[in-house]
Amino acid sequence: MRTTTLTTAVLNPSAAAKDKRVLVTGGGTFLGDSIASALIAAGAEVTLLVRPGAEDKLGALAGRARWWSSDVWNPASLRGRGRGHAIVVHTVGSMIADPQQGLTHNWLNFVSARNVANMCVGDGVPHMLLMSAVRAPWVSGDYIRAKRDAEAYMQRVGLNGMIVRAPVAYLRGQRRNPFYQLLTLLGSIPPTSWLAFGRIAPIPVDVLARGVAKIALERRRDKTMFYAPDLRRLGKSDRRTAIDPFSERNDDTQPRRKFHAIELLGEDTPFGWSPPEEK
């Protein structure tokens, strides 16, 4: 007698639907919006966590994804936000600290990740993808230490964690410092791409976002640490498939917004969340 093995999706459609539900922190930011856009293009059902007061920065994504206002530095604000999701992608962080304002690298990059990891544990989310950073000569040692502490904490609390040690990301067509342009070239062509340049060279944000989306949705058991070469390989798809969350932000005729506690690294846009603007 012939038997047929049914997939989980057929046996339990609701479980298959939940498997595509992704919660992304850092809604309304450079990195968070890019990753959310790539996830939507890949068929995921995305929910964004947006910093209170930044809801109007979502742009086109406001109509393509669910979103909630939550403060990742306030555990009470996160309570229950993870329920019903298969994975949380944590993008919140800053490369530039402002200790005089209490915005240390530990507070910006470790405490936020710790709170999100605790939310995952409390809300029954089995997987967490942490946007970390690769070590490079131009990156603060305190920043890297805070990211490594976040990596260790996520693993310590028992989550099925994935870590993306990403380099600086940039927007295609953006004016860039010649030094970073050279690094990008060295990191994308052999033989220099086989060396350290392949990991530390800046990467287009659309490539990074597509790579992260694939990592988040595939959730491989045999690989948990990812670097820029992995993102370049996974993010080769046609970049026209993703919506552009920055279509309303790239008008050079408009004055640039001034950020508090974060600056452009050279002329490359640093990935991650930017702290609140000074009032």
Q: What is the DSSP string of 215-266?
A: HHHH--SS--EE-HHHHHHHT-S-GGGS--TTTTT--TTSPPPPPSS---BT
Q: What is the pLDDT of residues 77-96, one digit of tens each?
A: 999 999 999 999 999 988 88
Section 12-40 average pLDDT: 83
**pLDDT value at 248 more than 60:** no
**pLDDT value at 182 more than 90:** no
110 pLDDT tier (thresholds 50, 70, 90): very high
Report how far Cα 249 is from the mean position of its chain's Cα atoms. Answer: 19
pTM of the model: 0.78
Q: Which residues on adjacent β-strands are paired with residue 24?
A: 48, 89
194 pLDDT tier (thresholds 50, 70, 90): low
User: Which domains are present in the chain?
Assistant: 16-170+204-236 (3.40.50.720)
Q: For position 208, what pLDDT does the model report?
A: 93
221 pLDDT tier (thresholds 50, 70, 90): confident
Q: What is the pLDDT of residues 36-50, one digit of tens each?
A: 999 999 999 999 999
d(CA 215, CA 218): 5
Section 195-224 average pLDDT: 86
277 pLDDT tier (thresholds 50, 70, 90): very low
**pLDDT value at 217 more than 60:** yes
Q: What is the mean pLDDT of the chain?
A: 77
**pLDDT value at 154 more than 50:** yes
| Under 8 Å between Cβ of 214 and 241 | no
Q: For position 278, what pLDDT does the model report?
A: 38
Higher-pLDDT residue of 14, 252: 14
Q: For position 1, what pLDDT does the model report?
A: 42
Report how far Cα 270 is from the mean position of its chain's Cα atoms. Answer: 12
The fraction of the chain above a pLDDT of 70, given in percent, is 70
**pLDDT value at 121 more than 50:** yes
Higher-pLDDT residue of 228, 201: 228
Section 106-111 average pLDDT: 92
Placement of tokens 């890297």 in the chain:
144
